[in-house]
Structure 1
Amino acid sequence: MEKFENMNAKICDLYKPTLSQDDVLNAYGKWSEGGKYDKELPLGVYNGPRYAAEAVNMYIPNKDARIIDVAAGTGKVAEELQKLGFMNLDALDPSTRMLKIAREKQLYKNHIPAFILETGTPILDDEYDGLVTSGGMGDGHIPPKAMHEMARVVKPGGVICLVMREEFLTSAESYKSNALEHEMLDMEKRKIWIQIARNVVQGYVVNRTGVVFAFKVL
């Protein structure tokens, strides 16, 4: 239990509103050195990638679908997607050091070194059949308005799967007053997407619950 709590504290240190983009990049880059990130967050400790891949498999039946993995890191989600037969994958992550590890694993066709923010993501409109992210939502990471960029790069009829720690929905400063789910609802009211799933899952990371969202782009 102490080991889990220590890992939980380490993870939470990365999700703070006071962290700059450079702080986040440096922290993840340092953690990835020598394969530490992958060794310290195997399946069983961090199950978000498996939940994310299962959601994609459930809502995107076409195994040839072109999918962008946002906040891809070292490729944990892609590893799980490939087990299910998805091979047409691209990665987007701001950490070039983490993307280097993913590139060495030969998981993705393209590697895009960028944050996904409210605007300016270097991807064309309607480029992908699906989008997935696990662990990318929270303070210092993906802001609520960035979900508009997610919807922009996915074709109408495509699916977006967001997997995150459940407690961040209310504890994250950048999501205060339930801002993230309010933005999701507002996007549905504006006919940008429609929510097709919201499932709470156990053991998302270090025994914490997670939530799996799925949306169909309109």
Structure 2
Amino acid sequence: MVKKFLDQVYETEGDAATRALYDEWSASYDDEVTEHGYRTPRRLAVAMAKVAADTSAPVLDYGCGTGLSGAALYGAGFTTIDGADPSPGMLAEAKARKFYRDLIPLDLTRPLPFAPDAYSAIAAVGVISTGAGPASLMDTLIALVPTGGILGFSLNDHALEDAEYTDGVQRLKDYGHIARVEEYGDHLPGLNLNSMIYVFEKA
């Protein structure tokens, strides 16, 4: 019997515990989320492609996991995609997909290894959420893109019920960043779970 992880992920706390869970999950991740009709990567990638000034410019798939999000970005028209993730197991799965120009291991105890303005677009699909990345990641990632660049991310129903995350979205707006897309829809329909996708243009 294949172990299931979706019922654990939203309750996991701490970088080390989260990395260990995703490492263990890496081999069966795609099958488990696909079983429930995982829609958010495609929804966000299509929305970002409509907003992006140039889909041939490098895009960072932050928290790329096994590469489902990279596949969605590629399918939406992005042609130069780098992935980054703290889980070696997930990165190994992503490498096999061959959508990525480069795959970057992350050490979450250290500053992010990206130069400002290296990417005109950053995607964080299913990354900013309870059991994953903190709301402050919105601020960290949008700081890395140039003025006019875009940050795309999603908040599932669990995150939308947590004021830390909804306050984070409002903070981006208060700083003057432009919400080009805010769209609520299917996340994991097999579990009756939805998500809001956002695409912000940096002011």
Counterpart contact for 1:64–1:86, Cα < 8 Å: yes
Cα distance, 1:115 vs. partner?
5.7
Q: How many residues align?
A: 200
Question: 2:183 aligns to what SS in structure 1?
Answer: strand
Task: Write the deviation string for residues 107-144 of structure 1: whole angstroms up to 9, x where unpaired.
Answer: 11121211668x82111111111111211122231111
For residues 21-170 of structure 1, the aligned pairs below 5 Å read 21-33=15-27, 36-42=28-34, 45-114=37-106, 120-170=111-161
**One of 4, 13, 34 as aligned partner of 2:8:** 13
Question: 1:97 aligns to what SS in structure 2?
Answer: helix
Could you tell me which residue of structure 2 aligns to residue 179 of structure 1? 164
Gaps of 5+ in 1: 1-5
Distance 1:203 1:152, change over 3 A: closer
Aligned residue type for 1:22: A
Task: Write the deviation string for residues 15-66 of structure 1: whole angstroms up to 9, x where unpaired.
Answer: 22x5221211111111113xx1122222762111111211112211522021
Gaps of 5+ in 2: none
Counterpart contact for 2:15–2:108, Cα < 8 Å: no
Task: Write the deviation string for residues 60-92 of structure 1: whole angstroms up to 9, x where unpaired.
Answer: 152202111111001101112212221211111
For residues 88 and 198 of structure 2, the distance between their equivalents in structure 1, rounded to whole angstroms, comes to: 27
Q: Which runs of 4+ in 1 moved over 6 A?
A: none
For residues 183 and 107 of structure 2, the distance between their equivalents in structure 1, rounded to whole angstroms, comes to: 26
Distance 1:107 1:43, change over 3 A: farther
Aligned residue type for 2:181: A
Distance 1:209 1:144, change over 3 A: same
For residues 74 and 39 of structure 1, the distance between their equivalents in structure 2, rounded to whole angstroms, comes to: 11
Distance 1:101 1:150, change over 3 A: same
Distance 1:205 1:12, change over 3 A: farther
